[in-house]
Structure 1
Amino acid sequence: MNDSVFLSELSWPEFATRIKAGQPVMLPLGATEQHGHHMAMNVDVVLPTAICERVAQRIGALVAPTLPFGNRSQPRTGGGRSFSGTLNLTAATHAAVVRDIVCELYRHGARRIVLVNGHYENIWSSVEGIELALDTLGRDPNDTLAILRIDHWDMVRPETIARVFPDGYPGIELEHASVIETSMMMALRPDLVDLSAAANDGPARFKPYDRYPAPPQGLPPSGVLSLTEGSTAEKGQWLLDDVVRGIEQAIREEFGLE
């Protein structure tokens, strides 16, 4: 018996059996994007994938393959187009991909679907993808379809944020490649983190508006929008514990799982 939570590691009959049994399906939404000098570009893939794996093991769910490309990075939240290696999808493309995956999962019998987002700019394109899927599938109140969309950082408790940032929280928009992501990566994949390479040239100081096509002034050359100083694996575990617990609780509540 294959007890993997990863959909792609199952045979099709095993997948069909587990979907028929009503197992929820989790879809991690990531990105391939610069994360400073000190981390790999797959941070937004590693984090939601690991979170989904842990939650799936607790509740008996499946994890679909992570979408490794995200809605295009913006200077004030991810550094934008200024850095080598960031691979962007347009919002329309990202929304269409999300729509298609949701519709395909539904076609195979999935009726409880959870999107777990790890890339800030995916927020509205993933919302649009869900709306497009519902436009396609219909919005019959008698249908058992239920979709959750969760940005993993929203599951961190205020008291944990206060522990991680005793001198004040800069806000999630400036936490790109900074303490939260760096600490979580140190807890999950320390082999992909090299704090000695961190430039510590932040924080970013943006104007309260956007200018195109040039990125706004105030973007640190390293691409880290806040600071990496203070990042630890211990803090990363605090954050991960909150996120996994929060997502598990939301799924159990919304889907009526014991």
Structure 2
Amino acid sequence: METSALSPQPWKLCDLTYAAVRQHRYEVAVLPLGATEPHNLHLPYSMDTREGDVIGDKVCEAAWQRGAKVILLPTIPYGTETNLRAFPFAMNLHPSTLYAVLADLIESLTHQGIMKIVLLNSHGGNDLKGFLREMYGQSPAKLFLCNWYASIRDVYHQIFEAPDDHAGEMETSLALAYWPELVALRPDGSPDADSGRTRPSRFEAVNLGWVSITRPWHLLTANAGAGNPHRASAAKGRRLMEVLVQRIGSFLVELSQSPLDEKFPF
């Protein structure tokens, strides 16, 4: 009995065969970065990694459909967790380790001629600006860092009511939209979580943001949540995705079409 296989998604490496990859010439590689860590009491440890998967897939699909020769790599499921180490199974890669992993993966891409690389970051603990500076001049790769949650700051409060630092309204809305079966809910349908309140520092300069610290999350939060999730909805998660697809997808199209001349990226 003959069966017909579905056509693979040519932008999604983890679903492709070598035969399929050979049919395409790629210009841009998107490497999502996630994490494995607690997200209050109601969201799975895999939230950041799942966000990298679904956002990466949807923005690359949109870009591909507009002609961008983009390929999505599998999401790295571990990130920097040094300040969550008091919570069980917050699986840490020290920044230097993460940098080394990224450098090796970038070398794999440049070896085959892919020079435009986007780091699509889903985890706030992955502080990668220093990595870009360290790699500049050491690699022929043209690196771009996209913390996707930063791309919607100007419209955040048009979608959401409460700020979200971690496992709050925004992340819970994404989970309700794409993985509702993984969200722990109360009988009334609200997230089975605390309110995500955080403890202020005793130092006003830290609270105002002009002095920085690495925040120990077992002291900052009750259950690793920083942001109230109780007004989250699937509709808000889908609206967020629309904005991300429009903005990041459009950037990928521009990047794919841009020539690598001596003035790039200017």
Matched, 1:179 2:169: yes
Paired amino acid for 1:59? A
**1:2-17 equivalences in 2 (<5 Å):** 2-17=8-23
Correspondence for 1:249: 250
Number of equivalences: 235
**1:229-248 equivalences in 2 (<5 Å):** 229-248=230-249
Paired amino acid for 1:116? L
Correspondence for 1:154: 150
Contact 1:25 1:113 in 2 (8 A): yes
Measure how far apart 1:127 and its partner are. 3.0
- Separation of aligned partners in 2, 1:25 and 1:150: 13
Question: Unmatched 5+ residue regions in structure 1?
Answer: 75-79, 139-144
**TM-score, scaled relative to structure 1:** 0.81
- Separation of aligned partners in 2, 1:41 and 1:216: 15
Change in Cα spacing, 1:88 to 1:96, as seen in structure 2 (3 Å) is same
Contact 2:41 2:194 in 1 (8 A): no
Correspondence for 2:96: 92
- Separation of aligned partners in 2, 1:48 and 1:221: 26
Correspondence for 1:221: 222
Correspondence for 1:67: 76
Matched, 1:24 2:24: no
3-state SS of 1:70 partner? coil
Correspondence for 1:77: none
Measure how far apart 1:216 and its partner are. 6.9
3-state SS of 1:87 partner? coil
**Comparing 186-195 with 88-97, which one deviates more in the overlay?**
186-195
Measure how far apart 1:133 and its partner are. 4.0
3-state SS of 2:247 partner? helix
Correspondence for 2:180: 190
Q: Deviations over 1:122-156 (max 9, x none)?
A: 1x2x3333444444324xxxxxx532210011221
Correspondence for 1:141: none
Measure how far apart 1:4 and its partner are. 4.1
3-state SS of 1:136 partner? coil
Change in Cα spacing, 1:51 to 1:211, as seen in structure 2 (3 Å) is closer
3-state SS of 2:138 partner? helix
Change in Cα spacing, 1:87 to 1:234, as seen in structure 2 (3 Å) is same
> Is the radius of gyration larger for structure 1 or structure 2?
2
Q: Alpha carbon RMSD of aligned pairs, Å? A: 2.5
Q: Percent identity?
A: 25
Correspondence for 1:163: 159
- Separation of aligned partners in 1, 2:73 and 2:176: 24
Matched, 1:39 2:43: yes
Measure how far apart 1:9 and its partner are. 2.5
- Separation of aligned partners in 1, 2:255 and 2:12: 22
Contact 2:86 2:218 in 1 (8 A): no
- Separation of aligned partners in 1, 2:171 and 2:218: 24
- Separation of aligned partners in 2, 1:186 and 1:47: 12
Paired amino acid for 2:144? L
Question: Unmatched 5+ residue regions in structure 2?
Answer: 1-6, 65-69, 259-266
Paired amino acid for 1:97? V
Paired amino acid for 1:128? G
Q: Deviations over 1:47-68 (max 9, x none)?
A: 1211111111122221111100
Measure how far apart 1:46 and its partner are. 0.6
- Separation of aligned partners in 2, 1:159 and 1:42: 26
Paired amino acid for 2:230? E
3-state SS of 1:114 partner? strand
- Separation of aligned partners in 2, 1:234 and 1:223: 25
Matched, 1:118 2:122: yes
**TM-score, scaled relative to structure 2:** 0.79
Contact 1:102 1:133 in 2 (8 A): no
Higher helix residue share = 1
- Separation of aligned partners in 2, 1:51 and 1:86: 22
Q: Deviations over 1:150-193 (max 9, x none)?
A: 0011221523423312xxx53xxx52011111111111111111
- Separation of aligned partners in 1, 2:147 and 2:129: 11
